[in-house]
Structure 1
């Protein structure tokens, strides 16, 4: 066997046939365990011309039924526009800004102890978490239709109330309580 980083020349295998065993190893390289995939960019919503609305539709969607998810989201936006008298997209963006967390805690193991280390949240993850919470807490509400539940959760979030905003505040409280461990950042 050739040493690491060396090309091995063809040799004669038992039985008289030659086989080519040319292996080239890059010095110091690690074997990749998992390939990185490219994220496919979502298309802007046809009605509101916004990518984040498309992401909300995808978040609401169950079992691949996008048409139903679109009816729910558009119905919720119409209800929001009726009740507030403002543009539904503006209310949605305001709600998202009120839900998106700035800090989160991640578990970091140091020696035998596990610390909850506060970290800043990347912009993409902030948006993903906000959409996830909005969907999760709108589903848990008690109104009759999902469109009503989503509309009311959006209006609550825009007014800095509601379960999704409480989740963000809880996450920020955890980060604040554990700021003594901030020096353990990755």
Structure 2
């Protein structure tokens, strides 16, 4: 009985080894998708703008592979806007998240244009920003925290230690403050309307998300005496 089990184990092991060889082997179909002489694309629109091909350049003679769908070359694409759109996403509804973000930018544009046309003088109109992407970038920069707090327990005492935060963590915290506040406010109002109002308030250094940042800064200042604990 033991010999039979050992023989079955060796056969299965041989089959698994053969399957691994087949899985890592390159098939003729995968090799014919892209040829070796074709060049991979550069995922940077500014690279092609500053390096325009001239006659006799390799860009005229060498084929470039198709760019993956995750690369964007549109002049309207902004990495931070795309990242915030991914935070809006729920249950894999990327189309809905894109629609909400586009509607948010549209509402910001309409609100600023209305304010622009209702301005009493030309000097007041010059101070009104009409580009929704500029408003979004400045609003997020006003919400980004400078330092964070880390909880540490020493001798049954809990300390809140101020620590630096990575850039990605700062943007995630700011996005979470904005989305948590907007999702908890008046569900009959469209989310794009709530986001537009919050971004316009944050653009003027106001709003709930900015208050969250200010509260965190006050906590950091109150616990600055424990900063040396994080170095040990």
Task: Work out whether the TM-score is over 0.5.
Answer: yes
Q: Deviations over 1:32-66 (max 9, x none)?
A: xxxxxxxxxx7558573111111111111111101
2:207 match: 162
Counterpart Cα distance in 2 of 1:45 and 1:109: 49
Query: 2:92 matched to 1:64?
Result: yes
Q: How many residues align?
A: 145
2:170 maps to which of 115, 126, 143: 126
2:107 match: 79
Secondary structure at 2:159 match in 1: strand
1:102-117 matches, within 5 Å, as 102-117=146-161
Which runs of 5 or more residues in structure 2 are unaligned?
Answer: 1-69, 114-129
Q: Which entry has the higher C-alpha Rg, 1 or 2?
A: 2
Residue 97 and residue 150 in structure 1: after superposition, are their counterparts in 2 closer, same or farther (change >3 A)? same
Shift of 1:75: 0.3
Counterpart Cα distance in 1 of 2:132 and 2:142: 15
**Segments of 4+ in structure 1 off by > 6 A?**
none
Q: Deviations over 1:11-49 (max 9, x none)?
A: xxxxxxxxxxxxxxxxxxxxxxxxxxxxxxx75585731
2:220 maps to which of 168, 175, 178: 175
Secondary structure at 2:198 match in 1: helix
Residue 43 and residue 172 in structure 1: after superposition, are their counterparts in 2 closer, same or farther (change >3 A)? farther
Shift of 1:112: 2.4
Residue 44 and residue 127 in structure 1: after superposition, are their counterparts in 2 closer, same or farther (change >3 A)? farther
In the superposition, the TM-score normalised over structure 2's length comes to: 0.59
1:99 match: 143
Counterpart Cα distance in 2 of 1:162 and 1:45: 33
Which runs of 5 or more residues in structure 1 are unaligned?
Answer: 1-41
Residue 94 and residue 138 in structure 1: after superposition, are their counterparts in 2 closer, same or farther (change >3 A)? same
Residue 178 and residue 45 in structure 1: after superposition, are their counterparts in 2 closer, same or farther (change >3 A)? farther
Query: Greater relative contact order: 1 or 2 (C-alpha under 8 angstroms, separation 6 or more)?
Result: 1
Q: Deviations over 1:158-178 (max 9, x none)?
A: 111111111111111110000
The Cα RMSD (Å) is 1.8
